[in-house]
């Protein structure tokens, strides 16, 4: 677990497989050591996938911290007309997710390193089991980077354990201007819905001063 958010894990490769079973989906996924939850589908990921509403049918969607791909592949299966960006800093995870998407014939999944997403892409939805253990400052920086790329009508869904700070994270998101609410609570996990930050209100133009008569004197 200490290595899953590193770019190139030092753990020796130990390939394996896990099965993702949902009411609408059944996938067998390749895993390996040095990635997040390689031996089973993480409980938080399962809570997220069983509670989120259907993703937008079209546009760009994001799985932030994709691991070997259970969230990205579920998004792609539920929204076959959308393009799903599966993003991670862990190169081993990115490659596993790419292979799993190919095996599932989900060709609209784009599994890439976090720095390889084009700057102009905006997301109609973000689903994530974020890497809480990277530390609060790094977590906040990561969320700021990607939540600011939501479309104006976009929403993110984040699953966080209660004892790892889900309630304080919700408060921080709200304080930073992202409307955040609790969508679900199950098995010590919270699923937070986070909407795009409202656009700032335009500054009203100053009203021209009234002019009295022909003298040019301004009213007070």
Q: What's the pLDDT tens digit per position in 45-99?
A: 999 999 999 999 999 999 999 999 999 999 999 999 999 999 999 999 999 999 9
pLDDT, tens only, 164-175? 889 999 999 999
* Spacing of C-alpha 115 from chain mean position: 15
pLDDT, tens only, 104-119? 999 999 999 999 999 9
Kindly give, in sequence order, each residue whose CB lies less than 8 Å from that of residue 61, ignoring residues fewer than 6 positions away. 55, 75, 79, 82, 83, 84, 85, 123, 124, 125, 126, 127
User: Minimum mean pLDDT among 100-104, 130-134, 158-162: which range?
Assistant: 130-134
Helices and strands, number each (H, E), in the chain: 5, 11
pLDDT, tens only, 149-208? 999 999 999 999 998 889 999 999 999 999 999 999 998 999 999 999 998 766 666 666
27 forms beta bridges with: 20
Q: What is the dihedral of CA 106, 107, 110, 112, to 10 degrees?
A: 90
**What predicted TM-score, i.e. pTM, was given to this entire model?**
0.88
Instruction: Please name the residue that has the structure tokens 């409980």.
Output: 43
Which runs of E-coded beta strand occur in the chain?
Answer: 16-22, 25-31, 60-64, 83-88, 109-113, 123-128, 150-161, 180-186, 189-195, 211-212, 217-218
Q: At 149, phi and psi to the nearest 5?
A: -105, 10
* Helix, coil or strand: residue 27: strand
pLDDT band for position 214 (cuts 50, 70, 90):
very low
- Quote the mean pLDDT of the chain: 91
Pairwise pLDDT comparison (4 vs 78), residue with the higher score = 78
* Helix, coil or strand: residue 136: helix
């Amino acid at each position: 677990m200490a290595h899953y958010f590193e770019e190139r894990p030092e753990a020796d490769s130990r390939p394996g497989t896990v099965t993702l079973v949902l009411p609408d989906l059944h996938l067998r996924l390749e895993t390996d050591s040095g990635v997040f939850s390689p031996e089973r589908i993480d409980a938080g990921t399962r809570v997220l996938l069983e509670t989120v509403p259907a993703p937008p049918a079209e546009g760009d969607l994001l799985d932030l911290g994709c691991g070997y791909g259970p969230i990205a592949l579920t998004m792609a299966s539920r929204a076959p007309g959308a393009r799903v960006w599966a993003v991670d800093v862990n190169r081993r995870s990115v490659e596993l997710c790419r292979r799993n998407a190919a095996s599932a014939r989900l060709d609209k999944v784009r599994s890439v390193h976090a720095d390889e997403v084009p700057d102009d892409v905006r997301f109609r939805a973000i689903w994530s089991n974020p890497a809480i253990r990277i530390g609060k400052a790094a977590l906040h920086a990561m969320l700021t980077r990607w939540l600011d790329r939501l479309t104006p009508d976009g929403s993110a869904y984040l699953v966080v354990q209660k004892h790892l700070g889900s309630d304080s994270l919700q408060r921080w998101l709200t304080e930073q201007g992202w409307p955040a609410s609790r969508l679900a609570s199950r098995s010590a996990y919270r699923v937070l819905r986070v909407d795009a930050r409202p656009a700032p209100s335009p500054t009203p133009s100053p009203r021209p001063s009234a002019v009295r008569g022909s003298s040019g004197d301004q009213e007070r």
